[in-house]
């Protein structure tokens, strides 16, 4: 009953905030809902002294939600599958080189670059944050968030090839980033663990390759099953079982659940739709997952807005928070620029393309969920606060301006390959 009550409150708030956004703000749905939730959080804090019971009850409701478990264990799987099922495999193949490099090598470069610069910045500001926790922040903030990217790119008018690069990278870099984060977190909490190169490499290979293989098997087999019945109600149930059952299998096998969902979604969205579905089934399936995507995105960005209530004295971290915004953007540029100069891609990257890729690399709920998963201790509060600063700036400022930036830079680069 408690869970039903909590979700009921969130659904009501999400629908009300979505209405207010469409009626008055007229912003992209996810950004508008998050901004209204943040304003509501600030108003709750301000009026908390007048109505302390209301403030405490609502804060307790938000605190009772295990955001990390809800997002990483449930919502992320649905959202990744919903995004991947609409991805064109042909477009991904055309951009496979940059996507593979940016979702692996660039994540590693960004993690260590952010860790090193943040360590230097905290020393200058006399903030007690050990180097290993600076690296931990680098790991959780380096991957671009597929949920934020896919939802906002729908409203940003960028070329298809460039959109594929950004969306493809964000879909595939989660598996790598989560493993890097888990390794660094374990090192911070238990330095005696095995962190040899062979062991860490095996973890990465098992997570990534295992997730791809499992997702491919689930996608192919479920497509074959749908072809034999071609009933839209059964097809929807089959895709739901792929997401929910596939996650349980991935967890039991200790492989990447996010990559499993991405692979399964791409297979069903391309092979399944072409060979196993009538036009009616395809239409119902598309509309069902679009609706799931919109509902869960609304709840997720509502969560992000209200997470402000869970970070006490966040304004006391404003200086290091603002510095981290610039650090993350700079390291994002470095992590993309170095591979484009060293690796001989088939098509040259112009500076305008890299700028758009840097600005389009949004951070979102995944980073906050990873920050919340850190054990309680003296360093968790600052990591959570600076993560929130970067995420909010990323979603609101970068999310609202990526389309304008693309329109401004692309005329100067008509001859460039995007």
Question: What is the per-residue DSSP string for 101-127?
Answer: HHTTHHHHHHHHHHHHHHHHHHHHTT-
Q: What is the pTM of this model?
A: 0.91
pLDDT mean for each 10 residues of the chain (418 residues)? 76 94 92 94 80 73 79 88 91 91 95 97 95 96 86 73 87 84 86 73 84 96 93 96 96 91 95 91 94 91 89 89 98 96 85 91 91 90 96 94 84 48
pLDDT at residue 413, rounded to an integer: 45
Asked if residue 363 lies in contact with residue 394, where contact means CB atoms within 8 angstroms, the answer is yes
pLDDT at residue 158, rounded to an integer: 73
Per CATH, the number for 3-413 is 1.20.1530.20
pLDDT at residue 194, rounded to an integer: 66
Q: Which of 160, 93, 150 is nearest to 361 (CA)?
A: 150
How many whole angstroms from its chain centre is CA 247?
A: 17
pLDDT at residue 161, rounded to an integer: 81
Asked if residue 175 lies in contact with residue 259, where contact means CB atoms within 8 angstroms, the answer is yes
pLDDT at residue 384, rounded to an integer: 95
pLDDT at residue 414, rounded to an integer: 45
User: In the chain, helix, strand, coil percent, each to 5?
Assistant: 80, 0, 20
pLDDT at residue 68, rounded to an integer: 84
Q: Round to whole Å and give the CA distance between 247 and 81.
A: 11
């Amino acid at each position: 009953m408690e869970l039903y009550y909590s979700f009921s409150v969130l659904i009501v708030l999400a629908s009300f905030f979505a209405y207010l956004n469409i009626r008055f703000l007229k912003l992209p749905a996810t950004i508008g809902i998050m901004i209204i939730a943040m304003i509501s959080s600030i108003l709750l804090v301000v009026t908390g002294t007048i109505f302390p019971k209301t403030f405490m009850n609502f804060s307790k409701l938000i605190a009772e939600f295990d955001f990390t478990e809800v997002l990483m264990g449930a919502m992320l799987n649905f959202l990744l599958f919903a995004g991947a099922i609409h991805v064109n495999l042909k477009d991904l193949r055309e951009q496979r080189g940059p996507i593979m490099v940016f979702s692996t090598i660039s994540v590693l470069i960004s993690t260590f670059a952010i860790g090193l610069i943040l360590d230097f910045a905290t020393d200058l500001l006399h903030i007690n944050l050990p180097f290993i926790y600076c690296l931990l922040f680098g790991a959780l903030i380096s991957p671009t968030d597929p949920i934020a990217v896919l939802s906002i790119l729908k409203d940003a008018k960028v070329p298809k090839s460039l959109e594929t690069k950004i969306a493809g990278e964000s879909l595939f870099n989660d598996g790598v980033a989560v493993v890097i984060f888990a390794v660094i977190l374990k090192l911070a909490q238990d330095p005696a663990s095995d962190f040899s190169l062979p062991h860490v490499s095996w973890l990465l290979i098992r997570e990534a390759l295992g997730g791809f293989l499992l997702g491919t098997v689930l996608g192919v087999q479920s497509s074959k099953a749908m072809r034999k019945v071609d009933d839209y109600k059964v097809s929807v149930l089959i895709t739901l079982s792929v997401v929910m059952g596939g996650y349980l299998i991935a967890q039991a096998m200790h492989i990447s659940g996010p990559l499993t969902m991405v692979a399964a979604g791409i297979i069903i969205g391309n092979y399944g739709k072409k060979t196993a579905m009538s036009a009616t089934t395809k239409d119902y399936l598309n509309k069902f997952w679009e609706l799931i995507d919109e509902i869960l995105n609304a709840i997720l960005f509502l969560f992000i807005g209200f997470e402000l209530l869970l970070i006490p004295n966040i304004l006391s971290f404003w200086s290091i928070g603002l510095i981290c915004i610039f650090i993350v953007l700079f390291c994002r540029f470095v992590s993309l620029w170095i591979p484009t100069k060293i690796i001989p891609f088939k098509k040259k990257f112009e500076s305008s393309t890299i700028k758009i890729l840097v600005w389009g690399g949004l951070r979102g709920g995944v980073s906050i969920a990873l920050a919340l998963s850190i054990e309680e201790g003296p360093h968790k509060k600052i990591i959570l606060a600076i993560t929130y600063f970067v995420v909010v700036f990323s979603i609101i400022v970068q999310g609202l301006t990526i389309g304008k930036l693309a329109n401004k830079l692309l005329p100067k680069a008509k001859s460039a390959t995007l």
